[in-house]
Amino acid sequence: MNKILTYIFIVIVVVVGVFYLLNSSVNKERDSVLMVDHKNAEYVVAGERIKLTNGISEITDSSNSVSKITTKYFGNELREDLNDDGREDIVFLLTQETGGSGIFYYVVAALNTGRGYVGGEALFLGDRIAPQTTEKGKGKIIIVNYADRAQGEPFSTSPSIGKSIWLILDTETMQFGEVVQNFEGEADPKRMKLDMKTWNWVRALYNDGREIIPKQPNKFTLTFLNDGRFSAGTDCNSMGGHYEAEKGTISFDQIVSTLMFCEGSQEAEFVNLLQDTQGYHFTSKGELVLDLKFDSGSVIFR
């Protein structure tokens, strides 16, 4: 009888020990996964995948082996459930330096999956701006407030013009769409105008499957004036010219630019895209889409 009790006791001890070890292993695995927070997640910044480690990433520039691209967590956090799963997600700002004098600011989101954070695509805000606050708007709208310079002011001038950008995150693509201000919901294409903002080139998509993504998207800008003129910035020169837009059709001509030479610049591709444009439309994500001639593709701006 004593032997039987002894065997039973040994079995109980073994079962309890195995359960404890398994439970301890699961807890350690869970804890190690949950340690992956938004400062140790992966994001897409300026078309490149960036993995933060304790809020910082430093990689070699693929176009210039001497230069370093440094991406850093900046802050201005907003914690909000962005996908209605009951968990707090996070929106915050990043900075990126590419070896020059610029400090480029981005807003980005990370979803809390319960087993770590999934980072999204960063949206460019500006170069050497002065971030202020990130706050919640109505519904799922996120409002990023910052100060910038007037158009044409040098970077030596301190940012003094208050600006706000209203955004909604597409939690499927993890990309931000800009919302036209002063109305609820996503952007209404019927209320959007060419001269409502300065547009940043995101990508060009051709119907044969080709895609052009700017290596420095923050450099490629397009601004429409209400007198039929436009100005543009590229990764090398500044340019301007005239445009005609009516009932969804548009054309650019008399394009002139400064004459600096920059090796590896995508300026020529950008100019060709403008010259090949024949139409335009807006999307509910707050995008401007230029339609290329012969229905050959489209150019997307945000």
pLDDT (tens digit per residue) in 222-271: 999 888 999 999 999 999 999 999 989 999 999 998 888 888 899 999 99
Would you place residue 91 in the very low, low, confident or very high pLDDT band (cuts 50, 70, 90)?
very high
Arithmetic mean of pLDDT, 278-286: 88
Would you place residue 137 in the very low, low, confident or very high pLDDT band (cuts 50, 70, 90)?
confident
Residue 15: strand, helix, or coil? helix
Q: Which residue has 């009932």 as its token pair?
A: 247
Look up the pTM and report it: 0.54
> Phi-psi category of 230—alpha, beta or left, where left has phi over 0 and alpha has psi -120 to 50?
beta
Is the pLDDT assigned to residue 206 strictly greater than 50? yes
DSSP symbols for 157-213: SPP-EEEEEEEEEETTTTEEEEPPTTSSSS--GGG--GGGSEEEEEEEEETTS-EE-
Is the pLDDT assigned to residue 218 strictly greater than 50? yes
> Is the CATH number of domain 196-301 1.20.1560.10?
no
Tokens (6 digits) for 89 = 């997600």
Domain ranges of the chain: 38-186, 196-301
Is the pLDDT assigned to residue 104 strictly greater than 50? yes
Would you place residue 35 in the very low, low, confident or very high pLDDT band (cuts 50, 70, 90)?
very low
Helix boundaries (H) for 2-85: 2-34
248, 280 Cβ separation under 8 angstroms: yes
Other CB atoms within a 10 A radius of the CB of residue 174 amount to 18
- C-alpha distances (whole Å) from 181 to each of 68, 129, 290 are 37, 21, 22
Q: Out of 7-16, 68-77, 163-172, 194-203, which region has the weakest mean confidence (pLDDT)?
A: 7-16
Please state, rounded to an integer, the average pLDDT across all residues of the chain.
84
Is the pLDDT assigned to residue 102 strictly greater than 80? yes
